[in-house]
Every structure is written in C-alpha cells, then in structure tokens.
Chains A and B, each alone.
Chain A
C-alpha cells in the first residue's frame, strides 16, 4: 500500500501542490520527502525572494511551507509580500523559534498555520487538513 494511502490522504493529494521555502538543505530534503510520501507534488526554493518570484511567474500552490529565518528575504517579509500580491494559498510557517513574540510576529504576517520544527508526518497532516483554497 503506498504510504499516501496509508496516511489516508491519497484521494485528496492527487490534486494538491505545495511549495517548500527553506534555506536549510537538510530541511529542504526532509520536507520534500514528507510531501512526496503524502503524494503531494512539490517544488523547493531557498529563500523568500525565490518564493515571491515563483508566484510572480504565474505558478500557484495550494500549500506553502514557509521557514522564518532565511537570507535575502525572510519568511515574515515573504508572507506579507505574497498576501499583498493576493496569494490565497494556505501558508504554514515552519520555524524553530519558540518565543511567543517571534511566533506571533510570523503569524501576523499572514500565516494560516504555524508549526515548530522539526516537521513530522502528524504535523504535516494537520497542515494539509487546513487547506481551504485550491490553486
């Protein structure tokens, strides 16, 4: 049985697309595989500027996994810019910041969800359940 079926999400995720935004190569690889295992087609970029650019090019995603601390453009600025552009995708902040003020600042930038790293299958399933807009 494919893992996507095992986790009960295959019928939904044939249609779901996601963008991983993270500068950490290890996190990129893990988040990419997490999404693959759930059957979610995904693309990976290395910072907030690349996330904005890929949206500017016309690409759309149902889900964006956004890291907070990145060079060039961080997750807070990128989230604000994407919302200003009218991007309605579900944006989930994924960060290792545990202070509530830092978390709140990120959420107020326009997140739909927030999880502390490391991301797990359970956390990602929770995020996927919150997807409300189909790109």
Chain B
C-alpha cells in the first residue's frame, strides 16, 4: 500500500473512532500539542494512560473483591480513571466511569461490579483501536510519509 492509501486509511479509521464515540475533541487537543520538540507526545501520553489504567483496574478488582468494600477507596480509583480518560479524550471509558461513581455513592455492589466489567471492556476496545491507529502511523512513516499529526 502506498503512502496516499495509508494516509486515507488512517483518516477514515480516525474518523470512525470519533464517530463511534471512542475518542472526543480532547484527543484532537493532544494531537495539537505534538510538535518537533515532542514528536511522540501522543503515543507517550496514551502509553502512560494505558499503564495507569491497567493499574487502576487491578486496584478496583481488588477493592471490590473485599468482604467489606471500602466505597471511598473504589470511588477514588474511579475518579482517577475518569480524570485520565477525559484527559486523553477516551469518551466511552469516561462515560462508564461517571455511572460507576454514581454506584459508588449509592454503595451499590452489583452496580459497581457491572461497571467494572464495562469499563474493562471499553478500555480493552480502546486500547486495541489506538494500537491499530498508531500502527497505521508507523506504516506511513516507514513508507516515507510525513508524520500524520
């Protein structure tokens, strides 16, 4: 596939991610922050998000597995995940976090467990899709194209 075709594929894929609600305007903001001094900024901040989110999801699973659930602790973790996801434009993850926090405030165990599964699913989907997006960008650079962002 030539550079033009790859660029078109990247454009269509990115548009789809926005259309399906995986990403919002904040992701575009991150792209605008990438410059010649920080050419890998978006990949770096998204990688940090992935690492941090995985840690938080592990903490949430542990916290919700306790006999006496500390809902303040659970809420604190969800608050962090909500903050990170909104910072990178991960709209669907953020939306589940909002519902999750409501269940925490109501001390609703079933609701929290349901949200944990949902947020894990949304996170996993997003991770796959962003990895695909970044791979497309790498292919464009490897084919001699310019940095897409």
Mark A residues whose CB is within 8 Å of B. 2-3, 24-27, 29-30, 33-34, 36-37, 69, 96, 117-118, 120-121
The 6 closest A-B pairs by CB, nearest first: A26-B84, A118-B87, A33-B33, A118-B26, A26-B87, A29-B45
B65 within 8 A of A: no
Considering the complex, give the chain B residue whose CB is closest to the CB of A123.
Answer: B29
Distance of A33 from chain B, by nearest CB (Å): 5
Considering the complex, give the chain A residue whose CB is closest to the CB of B79.
Answer: A69
**Contact present for B49 and A121 (CB under 8 Å):** no
**Contact present for B83 and A24 (CB under 8 Å):** yes
**Contact present for B45 and A26 (CB under 8 Å):** yes
Mark B residues whose CB is within 8 Å of A. 26, 29-30, 32-33, 35, 37-38, 41, 44-45, 48-49, 52, 76, 79-80, 82-84, 86-89
Q: How far is the CA of A69 from the CA of B41 in the complex (A)?
A: 26
Which of A2, A24, A27, A33 makes the CB contact (< 8 A) with B41? A33
**Contact present for A121 and B32 (CB under 8 Å):** yes
Considering the complex, give the chain B residue whose CB is closest to the CB of A120.
Answer: B29
**Contact present for B30 and A30 (CB under 8 Å):** yes
**Contact present for A96 and B79 (CB under 8 Å):** yes
Considering the complex, give the chain A residue whose CB is closest to the CB of B53.
Answer: A26
Q: How far is the CA of A88 from the CA of B141 in the complex (A)?
A: 48
Of A24, A27, A37, A118, the most chain B CB neighbours within 10 A belong to A118
Distance of B33 from chain A, by nearest CB (Å): 5
**Contact present for B33 and A27 (CB under 8 Å):** no
Q: How far is the CA of A24 from the CA of B33 in the complex (A)?
A: 18
Contacts of A118 in B (CB 8 A): 26, 29, 86-87, 89
Contacts of A96 in B (CB 8 A): 79, 82-83, 86
Contacts of A121 in B (CB 8 A): 29, 32-33
Contacts of B82 in A (CB 8 A): 96
